[in-house]
Amino acid sequence: MRNKTIIVLTGAGISVESGLATFRDAGGLWCGHRIEDVATPEAFGRDPKRVHEFYNLRRAQLKDAAPNAAHLALAKLAARWQGRFFLITQNVDDLHERAQTLHPPAIGYQLFHMHGELNKARCQASEEIIDWRDDLTVATPCPCCGKPGSLRPHIVWFGEMPLHMEFFAKIFPECDLFMSIGTSGNVYPAAGFVREVRALSRSHTVELNLEPSLVNSLFAEKIYGPAGEIVPRYVERILAGEV
Ligand code: BJW
């Protein structure tokens, strides 16, 4: 495996042990919120105050969270790996970035937030993306155009095109190891990545999750348990040349 290309896909399950809720587990974020009320452009058009409040709460929760053993293990792998390493996260938190401050990544590493980032806002007039760590309201003036109400969370909602898709299509044929961590396989196109990687490459595929995902049958290897336990063990196997 040395000098080969690793692609990792992460989902909400990797951040559970950091205290952030998943979307679909019992007690998950969507409880009390119908998806269409908070995660579609139509919902934002209808009730921007409610959508801002939902994301303000999550932005505040993120300030108290810290990377866990799974984020740190991936950061260690990114720091040591001699080949290329692409980390694609569906998560809008910044825990992968914060883990990397402890293990600065090697040169072949790139991180992609395919569903956007909680700590960024986007101007709906200019499409400019702005770092944003505070609350947003319908009255917040946009720093780029000055208009109140112009800013929206920099989040990919249902019906919107996820980010970096063209780049992913280029790297999938070069994949040697595809790891899917903490994602339920409910949401496309991410849930279809394993199928694409298998069709386009000779990659080994492994699912690491608390329980079998909806697409588990597509993986060659499956390991179930809390990410904070199973990811560090798997990373050690990779670094020891056992995968
Ligand atoms: C643990 C653990 C522990 C717990 N350790 N594990 C077919 C093909 C293509 C598209 C579609 C399709 N059918 C329908 C669509 C459209 C739609 C879609 O997928 N809908 C489904 C509901 C059916 N998709 C879209 O609209 C997307 N856009 C799109 O398709 O554009 C057109 C297009 C077509 C073709 C190619 C390319 C583009 C956009 C999707 C946007 C998703 N946005 C959200 C919310 C915004 C972000 C936010 O607010 O945070 O993103 S939805 C939500 O789900 C969030 C997540 O990133 C995403 C995935 O959820 P995830 O991460 O899997 O979380 P959970 O909760 O589902 O699972 C957690 C897992 O962790 C569980 O399995 C647990 O067991 C596990 N776990 N504890 C390890 N300790």
- 160 touches 189 (CB < 8 A): no
The b/e string for 200-235 (b: 16+ C-beta within 10 A; e otherwise) is ebebbbbbbbbeebebeebbeeebeebbbebbbebb
Residues flanking ligand 1, CB < 6 Å? 11-13, 16-17, 22-25, 28, 39, 90, 92, 115, 155-162, 165, 182-184, 186-189, 209-211, 213, 226-227
In 17-68, alpha helices (H): 35-38, 41-46, 48-63
Which residue, chain included where needed, has tokens 């970096």? 164
Whether 154 sits among the annotated catalytic residues: the reply is no
Q: What was the pLDDT predicted at 27? A: 67
Q: Which atom of ligand 1 is nearest to the CA of 187?
A: 19
Amino acid identity, position 129: I
**pLDDT number for residue 24:** 82
Nearest residue to 154 (alpha-carbon basis) of 96, 111, 113? 113
Task: Choose the residue to mutate in 188, 214, 229, 233 for probing ligand 1, maximizing ligand atoms within 8 Å of C-beta.
Answer: 188
pLDDT (0 to 100) of residue 230:
98
The torsion of the CA quartet 148, 154, 157, 160, rounded to 10 degrees, works out to 100
194 phi and psi angles, rounded to 5 deg:
-60, -40
What pLDDT is attached to residue 74?
98
Rg (CA), the chain: 18
Q: Which of 115, 154, 164, 204 is catalytic?
A: 115
CA angle 40, 42, 47 (to 5 degrees): 100
Q: At what angle do helices 69-80 and 227-239 cross, to 10 degrees?
A: 20
**Nearest protein Cα to ligand 1, atom 2:** 13
- Residue 30, both tokens: 């969507």
11 CA from centroid of ligand 1 (Å): 8
| Token pair belonging to 92 | 């809008």
For the chain (length 243 residues), average pLDDT per consecutive 10? 90 97 76 77 94 93 96 97 97 97 90 98 95 95 91 97 98 98 97 98 98 98 98 97 94
Q: How far is the CA of 202 from the centre of ligand 1 (A)?
A: 25
CA 236 / ligand 1 centre spacing (Å)? 28
Torsion (CA) 159, 196, 100, 96 in degrees, nearest 10: 30
182: left (phi over 0), alpha (psi -120 to 50) or beta: left
CA 93–ligand 1 middle distance (angstroms): 14
pLDDT of residue 28: 67
